[in-house]
């Protein structure tokens, strides 16, 4: 990876860690895929080169992919071409991990954070649609997009909108998420970060 890719990889890791902290879930291990003209490189979360053999990855990674059984996120450095899109992908995949975790808790009668109807809707989609994350017209995706929209506004001062057909549903989900504990978690996180920054001076 070149120097710019290393900087953006670190930004990806930081973004996912922030999102998972706010969602109160364990941060998955993160790996980076860097495709060159001659090989497909695999890097660990500490950005150490692991392999140039695609078989060591074992999955096709177009952009970003979460593998639940391994609790690993794979990120293709192709997403670095547009930094806003990169941040959006990182926030969306973090929310996807959260959705899977919430469904697991519901199915195992464990305490969950979201609303039961919302989690049941995600569970239905996961059970009945193969790789639900790729179905853009689904409650799973609208929720992921809404989460990214909130996070980009709150932490990067970036306002985004999605395709016209999605915007209404995404905005509905933004309102729904804002009524959850997330807003409280964001405010608490920001206060903590400001306090920590203040102590450093």
Closest CA to 96 of 60, 125, 128: 125
Query: What pLDDT shows up at residue 201?
Result: 42
> What is the spatial distance between Cα 34 and Cα 161, in angstroms, rounded to a whole number?
29
For residue 153, what are its two tokens?
Answer: 């506004």
Contact 90, 97 (CB under 8 A): no
> What is the spatial distance between Cα 122 and Cα 118, in angstroms, rounded to a whole number?
6
Q: Tell me the H-state helices in 59-163.
A: 83-107, 116-128, 139-156
> What is the spatial distance between Cα 77 and Cα 56, in angstroms, rounded to a whole number?
17
Query: What pLDDT shows up at residue 196?
Result: 61
Query: What pLDDT shows up at residue 132?
Result: 43
Query: What pLDDT shows up at residue 198?
Result: 54
Return the DSSP state at 82.
S
pTM: 0.88
Return the DSSP state at 181.
T
Q: How many Cβ atoms are within 10 Å of 84's Cβ, its own excluded?
A: 12
Closest CA to 124 of 112, 136, 107: 107
Query: What pLDDT shows up at residue 164?
Result: 62
> What is the spatial distance between Cα 154 and Cα 87, in angstroms, rounded to a whole number?
13
Query: What pLDDT shows up at residue 103?
Result: 95
- List Cβ neighbours of 190 (8 Å cut-off, separation of 6 or more): 154
> What is the spatial distance between Cα 104 and Cα 31, in angstroms, rounded to a whole number?
24
Query: What pLDDT shows up at residue 36?
Result: 86
Task: State the pairing for strand pair 64-67/49-51.
Answer: unpaired
- Tell me the C-alpha to C-alpha distance, in Å, between residue 92 and each of 49, 89, 192: 26, 5, 24
- pLDDT tens, N- to C-terminus, the chain (201 residues): 889 999 999 999 999 999 999 999 999 999 999 988 888 999 999 999 998 877 777 888 999 999 999 999 999 999 999 999 999 999 999 999 999 999 999 999 999 988 888 899 899 888 876 554 445 678 888 899 999 999 999 999 999 887 765 677 787 788 777 767 777 788 888 888 776 655 554
Backbone angles phi, psi at 75, to 5 degrees: -125, 125
């Amino acid at each position: 990876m070149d120097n710019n890719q290393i900087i953006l990889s670190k930004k990806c890791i930081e973004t996912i860690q922030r999102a998972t902290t706010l969602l109160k879930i364990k941060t998955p291990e993160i790996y980076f895929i860097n495709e060159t003209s001659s090989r497909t490189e695999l890097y660990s979360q500490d950005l150490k080169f692991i392999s140039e053999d695609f078989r060591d990855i074992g999955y096709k990674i177009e952009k970003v992919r979460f593998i639940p059984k391994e609790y690993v996120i794979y990120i293709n450095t192709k997403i670095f071409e547009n930094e806003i899109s990169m941040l959006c992908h990182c926030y969306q995949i973090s929310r996807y991990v959260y959705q899977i975790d919430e469904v697991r808790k519901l199915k195992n009668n464990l305490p969950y954070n979201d609303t039961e109807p919302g989690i049941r809707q995600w569970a239905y989609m996961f059970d009945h649609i193969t790789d639900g994350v790729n179905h853009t017209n689904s409650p799973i995706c609208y929720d992921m997009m809404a989460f990214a929209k909130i996070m980009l506004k709150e932490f990067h001062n970036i306002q985004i909108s999605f395709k016209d057909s999605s915007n209404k549903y995404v905005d509905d989900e933004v309102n729904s998420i804002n009524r959850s504990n997330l807003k409280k978690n964001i405010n608490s996180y920001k206060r903590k970060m400001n306090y920590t920054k203040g102590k450093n001076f």
